[in-house]
Amino acid sequence: MSGLARSWAAPIALAVLLSAVAVGGVLGYRHVEASRAGGSSLSEVELPRLGGHGSVRLSDFRGRPLVVNFFASWCPACITELPTFERAAQDYSGRVAFLGVDEQDNAAAGMRLARDAKVTYPLVQDTSDNQLFRLFQGTGMPTTVFLTANGSVRQTYSGELSADLLRERLNNLALQ
């Protein structure tokens, strides 16, 4: 090695090592937070129904798999996928529960979107402090979280789900 290459080798190796440690720390933190999200924190979450008339607790769904879909009226991918979720909710009725969460949205606009898509499964609003979205570590809209019957997070998916991909995820979830 030349003198110049040798003089840069140690700082580059240190930078790579520190980067690896930082990435490991972030991933470890996310794992711990995700584990917490599947625990008692989630069972305590209670959100108001979209359009009023009471509230819904996540603990109400214990004992069966649950799909939590975060949507908003301003999100083009949400508008496209919402009817797909309604069809899936009908097809998997009794085997998998569905919960729609209107996120970062005007409640009236979210309700209009849900009516237009003819959504029949429970809908809640998480617009004040994004409590549930933060617990699931949502990163964009739409976000869909698949929970096992015991309430642990099986998978979080960011982005629009096609009918085929949703069905694949649901088949895996229903077998749990």
All domains in the chain, ordered by first residue: 40-174 (3.40.30.10)
Distances (CA, A) of 2 to 8, 69, 86, 102, 123: 10, 57, 65, 61, 66
Q: Is the predicted pLDDT of residue 131 greater than 90, yes or no?
A: no
Q: What is the pLDDT of residue 115?
A: 93
What is the tens place of the pLDDT at every residue in 143-172?
A: 999 999 988 899 999 999 999 999 999 988
Q: What is the pLDDT of residue 25?
A: 41
Q: What is the pLDDT of residue 33?
A: 41
Q: What is the pLDDT of residue 45?
A: 83
- For tokens 């949703």, the residue is 166
* Chain CA centroid to CA 163, Å: 17
Share of the chain above pLDDT 70, in %: 73
Model confidence at 140, pLDDT cuts 50, 70, 90, reads confident
- What does pLDDT average to over the chain? 80
User: 142 preceded by cis ω (within 30°)?
Assistant: yes
Model confidence at 21, pLDDT cuts 50, 70, 90, reads very low
What is the tens place of the pLDDT at every residue in 73-116?
A: 999 999 999 999 999 999 999 899 999 999 988 889 999 999 99
Structure tokens at 63: 């004992």
Helix (H, G, I), strand (E, B) or coil at 176: coil
Q: What is the pLDDT of residue 7?
A: 65
Q: Is the predicted pLDDT of residue 37 greater than 90, yes or no?
A: no
Enumerate residues 6+ apart whose C-beta is below 8 A from 35.
Answer: none
pTM across the whole model: 0.74
Model confidence at 132, pLDDT cuts 50, 70, 90, reads confident
Q: What is the pLDDT of residue 20?
A: 43
Q: What is the pLDDT of residue 6?
A: 61
